[in-house]
């Protein structure tokens, strides 16, 4: 598809053509000037429609697309802004993400020199690193004799993480390096309080104490002590590589939920133990993009 | 890229309502043409669909649709006995589009119904080419376009009426359509054989046969049959305004028809060089009318028509029916000495059954009179003295004894009765005679300087062959009602005085004031309207291949191949659309607020205040407010509105604010009062 779009005649255009031929034949046969005139008027309306179809999607630009990663059978949603630049209101614009089989949402009206926020969704994508080359805009010409489609390029990548699945317990923690500065909050044994600093997870705040009027304090637990948690490809018991990835994904999700730091070990790479949202997403993205064909 | 899946089609109720209305508009003008049952059926089916949409009635199943389709086809076949031809075709189209409307499911069906409605309008134009008809069709076209707009923009609501946009689209398409109208190569004659259209459907006006016993009441249509002007400025006397259309030779005692000798170009009047010819230019109003008229007797014509036996005009073969033509007539002329035997037999032909009293009457004239002229004089005397009366409501005559009943008992009738009876009496008295049908008289239009002849001017008269003199026109009706001839005399005064368009409007106005203001005013207005209609007929309706060639020649084009020309025209239009769309693609619609600012900036610069390019509009206007302290308030107000309009939240300007901005800028006084 070329950059500025493509105009295709619709079925109505075929009907228009047949009606025009019949009308022309009638006008010629009866030598009737008013019939000639009406035929030509209809033809000109078709031409004007073609002209408007060709202008229907120019001067639109796409901005600021956001796509949250999802777990495998989930729905990927893209949010984007369509901006009108030419001072013409655009009517009945349909939109689809440029994927295998575009599903159009709409119709939308884009105000002159205005913008609209739209979201497109795609569900049932397999685990992996996907790329969204752009979005497709589609609109009917004002009289419906033509459809105009236009592709807005984007080159945006998004991830579909492996579905968290599997029922293996966490692998045992390995003796590790405390000097990594890893803040350990996990464990079972209550050891005491420390003062809450803004930015710390609020999970362990002693809310009962706060209710009694004391300053917010964080309960400290110990257990596992100075040992590190490593999730390794080798530790997963499943045969199927996808199932193994799912098991890893599940462990990571659980660790993230418990705010436990962890490291990831895959056949070709190793991610040092850490905690936090960025780390979790980094690890999940690695799983999503993993090429397991040569892994054992 | 894979095939793009189409979004699900939505047809809103709003769009459906527009379609219903425009379908109704397309159907409405067909009322006097298509059979009423078809129109009622179409309305019923459309109404059914409307109820389905409004009240949620169940849609008809396939079985019902099949039954309806078969039923409608059967009705058309029963009524017309064929599917082909203009009327059966239009009726079929009407009912087909109604059925499609009933089962309308998707966008394609919607477009189909709209386009079929276009076609329905086209069949209406085939029938009526007048200005009001065209305006009506343009209007309902706009509604059809609006319904398509409503379909393709499903978010259109009552607030955003598609009619305005439709009007813009139609107006944009009009110039292109006009270019095609004038430059698309026209064909010489019909593409395929036209189904025979009956010409006898007009209840009044010209007919190429006489049936005096059948017409109880003559309809008086004021519709114009043709307009005739006399370019040479020598209009005939009112008593010579006989426009012959057809010669009827054959009779069965009641009906007069053209007979078998029609069309053979023999026994024509020889043009006489010593007599000056009267040039006439005719413009016909009805299409598909196969009769052409000329003053007695035409001797020369333009190429579109030719003179045939009986000195009447017919169209030249294979061309479209011409709508205007030129004729030269010789008001008196020399005929060949002898009447051909075959012709003589025909113009003396008598029906088998004739009432004895009629035969006796003719016989008595023959015995008393010395020569042919005496017989004619006696016959005319008979009509003048025996208490005959002219009436347009003669009542019905019985088929058996029309002649005797008319001549001896009822004695009332109109021109057809008199012409038929007189001709028959002449033949009984042994004189070759024939009936001529055409028009007589007309109303002079001083604005357009022509004579308008109406359907109500249709007339019939007699021609008698007199040895040595040839065919002589005798109008027995004129004996009964001499006023009929003088109708045109008043209006012809002007024509006779030269008639070169120097009509004195002021004099006419003063006359109008003297003689009943309103009546004259209406008459004047009617004259003007008629002139416009005439121009329309001459310039637009009769634009044909010949006129087009003239246009091409005047532009220096000489297209060799009409197909190539048509193809080139279509390609040029497509290329134009492509080029224009490329040109317009990058054009940004200039903000009205920005435009207004430009105007203000120019005014300020003329007063000596330059805008530095690094300055924004706000800074510049603030500077201006300081430079022109007496107008500082207004300038700051302008600054505020302008900034709000251009950079505010709702950038698509509100019309009221823009109007206010423009008004402020217009009223702004930069110089101290």
Angle at B495 between CA B492 and CA B500, to 5 degrees: 165
Whether the CB of A95 is below 8 Å from some CB of chain B: the reply is: no
Whether the CB of B119 is below 8 Å from some CB of chain A: the reply is: yes
Whether the CB of B129 is below 8 Å from some CB of chain A: the reply is: yes
- What pLDDT was estimated at residue B213? 66
List CB contacts (< 8 A) between B138 and chain A. Answer: 41
Angstrom distance (rounded) from CA A261 to CA A177: 12
CB B324 within 8 A of CB B337: no
Tell me: the pLDDT tens digits for B630-651? 888 888 888 888 888 777 665 5
Distances in whole angstroms, Cα of residue B637 to Cα of each of B454, B459, B668, B670: 68, 79, 11, 15
- What pLDDT was estimated at residue B563? 85
Nearest CA of chain A to the CA of B115: how many Å?
7
Angle at A20 between CA B323 and CA B570, to 5 degrees: 90
- pLDDT of residue B580 exceeding 80, the answer is yes
Q: Which residue has 């109820």 as its token pair? A: B51
Whether the CB of A83 is below 8 Å from some CB of chain B: the reply is: no
- pLDDT of residue B196 exceeding 70, the answer is no
A51·B577 Cβ contact <8 A: yes
- What pLDDT was estimated at residue B3? 45
Sequence length of chain B is: 673
- pLDDT of residue B538 exceeding 80, the answer is yes
Whether the CB of A172 is below 8 Å from some CB of chain B: the reply is: no
Segment B562-571 shows an average pLDDT of 89
First to last CA, chain A: 42
- What pLDDT was estimated at residue B153? 81
E strands, B242-400, are: 242-248, 250-251, 256-257, 278-284, 294-295, 298-301, 305-308, 312-315, 324-329, 389-390
- Residues 150 through 169 of chain A touching chain B, CB cutoff 8 Å: 151
Q: Confidence class of residue B199 from pLDDT cuts 50, 70 and 90?
A: very low
Whether the CB of B111 is below 8 Å from some CB of chain A: the reply is: yes
The structure tokens listed for B172 are: 């944009």
Segment B647-663 shows an average pLDDT of 69
Cβ-based neighbour number of residue B537 at 10 Å: 21
Tell me: the pLDDT tens digits for B317-335? 666 777 788 998 888 766 6
- What pLDDT was estimated at residue B6? 64
- What pLDDT was estimated at residue B588? 63
Nearest CA of chain B to the CA of A209: how many Å?
48
- What pLDDT was estimated at residue B492? 41
pLDDT cut 70: percent of chain B above it: 83
A38·B125 Cβ contact <8 A: yes
Whether the CB of A1 is below 8 Å from some CB of chain B: the reply is: yes
Whether the CB of A104 is below 8 Å from some CB of chain B: the reply is: yes
Q: Confidence class of residue B305 from pLDDT cuts 50, 70 and 90?
A: confident
Tell me: the pLDDT tens digits for B598-632? 888 888 888 888 888 888 888 898 888 888 888 88
Segment B373-392 shows an average pLDDT of 85
- What pLDDT was estimated at residue A180? 39
pLDDT cut 90: percent of chain B above it: 21
State ipTM.
0.73
Residue of A23, A47, A50 for testing the chain B interface, max B β-carbons within 10 Å: A47
Q: Which residue has 């009044």 as its token pair? A: B204
Angstrom distance (rounded) from CA B626 to CA B649: 28
HEC sequence for B239-259: HHCEEEEEEECEECCCCEECC
Least confident of B183-187, B439-443, B571-575, B619-623: B439-443
Helix, coil or strand: residue A42: helix
Tell me: the pLDDT tens digits for B82-121? 888 788 889 999 999 999 999 898 889 999 999 999 999 9
Angstrom distance (rounded) from CA A13 to CA B505: 54
- Collect all residues with Cβ–Cβ distance below 8 Å to A222 and sequence separation of at least 6: A187, A189, A191
pLDDT, mean over chain B: 81
Tell me which residue in A58, A91, A140 faces B585 most closely, judged by beta carbons. A58
Axis crossing angle, helix B13-27 with helix B107-127, rounded to the nearest 10: 20
- What pLDDT was estimated at residue A241? 83
Burial class (CB in 10 A: 0-12, 13-18, 19+), B546: middle
- What pLDDT was estimated at residue B264? 54
Segment B441-455 shows an average pLDDT of 84
CB A126 within 8 A of CB A72: yes
Angstrom distance (rounded) from CA B280 to CA B228: 6
Which parts of chain A sit beneath pLDDT 50? 1, 176-186, 223-224
- pLDDT of residue B462 exceeding 80, the answer is yes
Angstrom distance (rounded) from CA B214 to CA B417: 11
Q: Which residue has 């003719």 as its token pair? A: B362
Tell me which residue in A91, A92, A101 faces B2 most closely, judged by beta carbons. A101
Whole-model pTM: value is 0.72
Tell me which residue in A23, A31, A48 faces B173 most closely, judged by beta carbons. A48
The structure tokens listed for A250 are: 């599940």
Q: Confidence class of residue B415 from pLDDT cuts 50, 70 and 90?
A: confident
- What pLDDT was estimated at residue B496? 42
Angstrom distance (rounded) from CA B524 to CA B586: 54
Q: Which residue(s) pair with B459 in the sheet?
A: B438
Q: What's the half-sphere exposure (Cβ side, CA atoms, 13 Å) at A205?
A: 14
Q: Confidence class of residue B309 from pLDDT cuts 50, 70 and 90?
A: confident
B7·A33 Cβ contact <8 A: no
The structure tokens listed for B101 are: 């409307």
- Collect all residues with Cβ–Cβ distance below 8 Å to B555 and sequence separation of at least 6: none
Q: Confidence class of residue B287 from pLDDT cuts 50, 70 and 90?
A: low
HEC sequence for B387-435: CCEECCCCCCCCCCCHHHHHHHHHCEECHHHHHHHHHHHHHHCCCCEEE
Tell me: the pLDDT tens digits for B498-532? 444 444 555 555 655 566 667 777 888 888 988 88
Question: Where does A169-240 have alpha helices with state H?
Answer: 207-211
CB A105 within 8 A of CB A96: yes
- What pLDDT was estimated at residue B140? 96
Segment B337-348 shows an average pLDDT of 79
- Residues 39 through 78 of chain A touching chain B, CB cutoff 8 Å: 39-45, 47-51, 54-55, 58-59
Angstrom distance (rounded) from CA B492 to CA B442: 10
Whether the CB of A36 is below 8 Å from some CB of chain B: the reply is: yes
CB A245 within 8 A of CB A127: yes
- What pLDDT was estimated at residue B545? 84
Whether the CB of B581 is below 8 Å from some CB of chain A: the reply is: yes
Angstrom distance (rounded) from CA B371 to CA B376: 9
- Residues 224 through 283 of chain A touching chain B, CB cutoff 8 Å: none
Distances in whole angstroms, Cα of residue B644 to Cα of each of A83, B611, B615, B624, B657: 20, 20, 18, 18, 9
Q: Which residue has 């462990």 as its token pair? A: A251
- What pLDDT was estimated at residue A100? 64
Residue A225 gets which letter from DSSP? Answer: T
CB B23 within 8 A of CB B113: yes
- What pLDDT was estimated at residue B240? 84
- What pLDDT was estimated at residue B211? 80
């Amino acid at each position: 598809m070329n950059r500025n779009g493509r105009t295709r005649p619709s079925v109505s255009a075929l009907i228009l053509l047949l009606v025009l031929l019949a009308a022309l034949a009638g006008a010629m046969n009866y030598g009737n000037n008013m019939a000639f005139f009406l035929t030509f008027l209809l033809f000109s309306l078709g031409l004007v429609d073609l002209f408007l179809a060709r202008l229907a999607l120019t001067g639109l630009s796409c901005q600021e697309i956001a796509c949250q990663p999802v777990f495998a059978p989930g729905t990927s949603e893209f949010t984007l802004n369509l901006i009108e630049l030419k001072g013409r209101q655009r009517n009945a614009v349909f939109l689809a993400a440029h994927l295998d089989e575009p599903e159009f949402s709409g119709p939308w009206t884009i105000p002159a020199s205005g913008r609209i926020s739209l979201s497109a969704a795609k569900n049932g994508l397999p685990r992996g690193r996907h790329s969204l080359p752009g979005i497709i805009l589609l609109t009917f010409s004002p009289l419906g004799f033509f459809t105009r489609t236009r592709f807005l390029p984007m080159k945006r990548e998004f991830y579909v993480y492996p579905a968290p699945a599997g029922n293996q317990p966490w692998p045992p923690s390995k003796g590790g390096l405390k000097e990594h500065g890893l803040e350990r909050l996990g464990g079972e044994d209550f050891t005491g309080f420390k003062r809450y600093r803004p930015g710390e997870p609020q999970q362990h705040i002693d809310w009962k104490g706060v209710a009694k009027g004391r300053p917010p304090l964080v309960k400290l637990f110990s257990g596992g002590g100075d040992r590190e948690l490593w999730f390794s490809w080798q530790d997963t018991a499943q045969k199927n590589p996808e199932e193994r990835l799912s098991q890893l994904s599940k462990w990571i999700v659980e660790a993230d939920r418990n705010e436990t730091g962890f490291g990831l070990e895959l056949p070709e790479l190793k991610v040092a133990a850490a905690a936090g949202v960025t780390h979790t997403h980094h690890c999940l993205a690695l799983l999503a993009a993993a090429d397991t064909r040569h892994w054992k | 890229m894979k095939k793009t899946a189409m979004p699900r089609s939505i047809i809103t109720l709003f769009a459906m309502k527009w379609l219903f209305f425009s379908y109704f508009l397309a159907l409405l003008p067909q009322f006097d043409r298509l059979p009423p049952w078809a129109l009622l059926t179409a309305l019923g089916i459309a109404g059914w669909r409307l109820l389905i949409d409004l009240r949620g009635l169940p849609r008809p199943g396939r079985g019902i649709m099949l039954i309806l389709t078969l039923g409608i086809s059967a009705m058309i076949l029963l009524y017309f006995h064929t599917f082909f031809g203009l009327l059966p075709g239009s009726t079929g189209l009407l009912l087909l589009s109604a059925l499609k409307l009933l089962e309308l499911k998707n966008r394609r069906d919607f477009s189909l119904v709209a386009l079929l409605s276009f076609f329905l309008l086209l069949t209406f134009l085939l029938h009526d080419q007048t200005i009001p008809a065209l305006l009506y069709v343009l209007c309902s076209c706009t509604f059809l376009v609006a319904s398509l707009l409503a379909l393709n923009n499903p978010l259109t609501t009552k607030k955003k009426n598609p009619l305005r946009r439709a009007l813009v689209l139609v107006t944009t398409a009009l110039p292109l359509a006009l270019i095609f109208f004038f430059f698309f190569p026209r064909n010489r004659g019909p593409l395929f054989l036209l189904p025979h259209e009956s010409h006898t459907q007009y209840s009044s006006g010209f007919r190429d046969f006489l049936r005096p016993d059948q017409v109880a009441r003559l309809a008086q249509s004021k519709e114009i049959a043709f307009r005739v002007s006399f370019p040479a400025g020598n209009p005939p006397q009112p008593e010579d305004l006989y426009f012959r259309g057809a010669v009827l030779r054959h009779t069965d005692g009641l009906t007069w028809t053209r007979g078998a000798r029609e069309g053979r170009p023999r026994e024509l009047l020889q043009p006489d060089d010593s007599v000056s010819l009267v040039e006439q230019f005719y413009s016909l109003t009805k299409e598909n009318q196969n009769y052409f008229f000329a003053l007695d007797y035409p001797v020369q014509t333009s190429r579109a028509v030719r003179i045939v036996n009986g000195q009447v005009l017919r169209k030249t073969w294979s061309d479209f029916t011409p709508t205007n033509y030129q004729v030269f007539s010789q008001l008196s002329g020399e005929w060949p000495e002898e009447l051909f035997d075959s012709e003589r037999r025909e113009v003396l032909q008598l029906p088998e059954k004739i009432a004895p009293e009629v035969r006796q009457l003719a016989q008595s004239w023959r015995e008393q009179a010395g020569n042919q002229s005496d017989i004619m004089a006696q016959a005319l005397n008979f009509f003048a003295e025996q208490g005959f009366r002219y009436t347009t409501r003669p009542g019905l005559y019985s088929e058996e004894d029309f002649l005797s009943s008319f001549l001896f008992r009822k004695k009332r009738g109109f021109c057809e009765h008199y012409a038929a009876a007189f001709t028959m009496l002449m033949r009984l008295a042994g004189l070759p005679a024939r009936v001529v049908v055409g028009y007589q008289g007309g109303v002079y239009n001083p604005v357009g300087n022509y004579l308008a002849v109406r359907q109500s001017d249709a007339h019939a008269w007699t021609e008698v062959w007199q040895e040595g003199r040839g065919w002589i026109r005798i109008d027995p009706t004129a004996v009964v009602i001499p006023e009929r001839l003088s109708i045109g005399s008043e209006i012809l005064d002007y024509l006779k005085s030269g008639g070169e368009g120097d009509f004195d409007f002021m004099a006419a106005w003063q006359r109008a004031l003297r003689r009943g203001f309103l009546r004259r005013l209406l008459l004047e207005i009617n004259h003007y309207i008629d002139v416009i209609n005439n121009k329309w007929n001459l310039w637009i309706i009769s634009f044909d291949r010949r006129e087009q060639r003239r246009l091409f020649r005047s532009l220096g084009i000489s297209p060799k191949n009409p197909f190539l020309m048509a193809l080139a025209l279509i390609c040029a239009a497509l290329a134009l659309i492509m080029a224009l769309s490329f040109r317009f693609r990058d054009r940004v619609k200039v903000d009205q607020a920005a435009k207004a600012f430009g105007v203000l900036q120019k005014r300020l610069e003329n007063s000596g205040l330059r805008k530095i390019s690094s300055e924004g509009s706000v800074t510049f206007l603030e500077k201006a407010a300081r430079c022109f302290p007496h107008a500082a308030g207004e300038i700051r107000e302008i600054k505020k509105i302008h900034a709000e309009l251009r950079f505010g939240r709702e950038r698509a300007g509100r019309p009221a604010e823009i109007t206010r901005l423009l008004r402020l800028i217009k009223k702004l006084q930069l110089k101290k009062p």
